[in-house]
Each structure stands twice: as C-alpha cells, then as structure tokens.
Amino acid sequence: MVSETNDDAAALIEAIARNGNRSAFKALFDHYAPRIKALLIRRGAPDRLAEDLAQEAMLSVWRKAATFDRNRASAAAWIFTIARNKRIDALRREGRPDYDPADPSLIPAAPATAEQVVEVTQQVERLARAMEVLPEAQAELVRMAYFEDKAHGRIATETGLPLGTVKSRLRLAVGHLRKALNAAGEEDA
C-alpha cells in the first residue's frame, strides 16, 4: 500500500529500478493507475482511452524507473507527468490523418512505355535542333531561363541587359522555337 507521502512512492520506484521488484510495481500500479485514469477522464479523454493511457503510463514507470530522481520531483509529479505526456501523444496521433493506401497522390506513376520514351526522345531532339537555329544571344537567354530556372531579373543582372530587353528577347526566342517545333512536328507526321 502506498501512502500519500512522497517517500513511500519514491522508495517503491527505486526498488523497481534496483531489481525490478514486481510487488513494488503492483503497489504503485494499484495506487496510481485509477488516479491517472480519473485525471485523464476529467481532462476529456474517453473512458477506454483513459484506461489505455493509464496502463501505458504505468508501463513507462516500470521501464523508466531508473531515471527517477527524488531530488528533482516527487514520485506523484513524475508519474503524472508521464501520464500527461502519454495523453499529449494520443492527441497528436488523433490530429494526424489516417494513411489511405488508395489515395491517388500516394500511388507511384506508372513507368513510361517504350512509345512514351521514344516520343520524349524525339521531342528533345526537335528542341535541340530548334535551339541551334536561334541566334546565340537568344539561345543563351532561353538556357538561363528555362534550363537553369533563373528569374528574369537575375538574368538581367548576370548579362548586364535591361530587364525589358531580357523579356522581349525571351518572347522572341520562344516564338521562334514554337514555329520551329511546329514545323518539325508537321515533317514527322
């Protein structure tokens, strides 16, 4: 039987830590498990969850008995802190959405078919040929903007060109590429 004094409960926890004293644990369990459950119910936990959390908390007392320090906290404070943390963990788990294996965003994309690989390869080749036709200044701006993913302002700074010039040259280059790619697509068809 545990009295309401800190010394009795602390001595039981220390006995658990020293030699895994099961009778000491039973005394602590009998005393604190109902109190933990009642506290959790008062704080809004459903009865079954409160029961489960009280048992989890007492198992943590068994496992963590060696970490108890009577100079840092009373036995009751230490035990109820463990229970409070178990409740917080349970609330966090409730807040997480359940994993749905049928969620389309979690299904990996199907591997590309041979036809798709060939099509992409042909598109890349057409784009490379179209880039060769562009004036070098425009081709360089296209590389910086679309292949290196640089912002127009950064391109202007790096090239020393005014921002408006960068934008107009890119617009011209994209127009030339579009015409070249459309013409190449008609030839392939």
Binned at pLDDT 50, 70 and 90, residue 45 comes out as: confident
Both tokens assigned to 133: 């036709």
| pLDDT value for 152 | 94
Rounded Cα distance between 45 and 40, Å, is: 5
Would you list the domain boundaries of the chain? 6-95, 114-188
Rounded Cα distance between 1 and 28, Å, is: 8
For residue 153, the number of C-alpha atoms closer than 13 Å in the C-beta half-sphere is 0
pTM: 0.50
Q: How far is CA 18 from the centre of its chain?
A: 39
Which residue, chain included where needed, has tokens 């409960």? 9
CA distances from 32 to 83, 85, 98 (A): 10, 16, 32
Q: How far is CA 28 from the centre of its chain?
A: 38
Is 90 exceeded by the pLDDT of residue 44?
A: no
Binned at pLDDT 50, 70 and 90, residue 3 comes out as: low
Per-residue pLDDT tens over the stretch 53-105: 999 999 999 999 999 998 998 999 999 999 999 998 888 887 766 666 666 76
- Topology classification of domain 6-95: Rna Polymerase Sigma Factor; Chain: A (1.10.1740)
Per-residue pLDDT tens over the stretch 121-177: 888 888 888 888 888 989 999 999 988 899 999 999 999 999 999 999 999 999 988
One of 3.40.50.300, 1.10.10.10, 3.40.190.10, 2.40.160.20 is the CATH number of 114-188, namely 1.10.10.10
Binned at pLDDT 50, 70 and 90, residue 186 comes out as: low
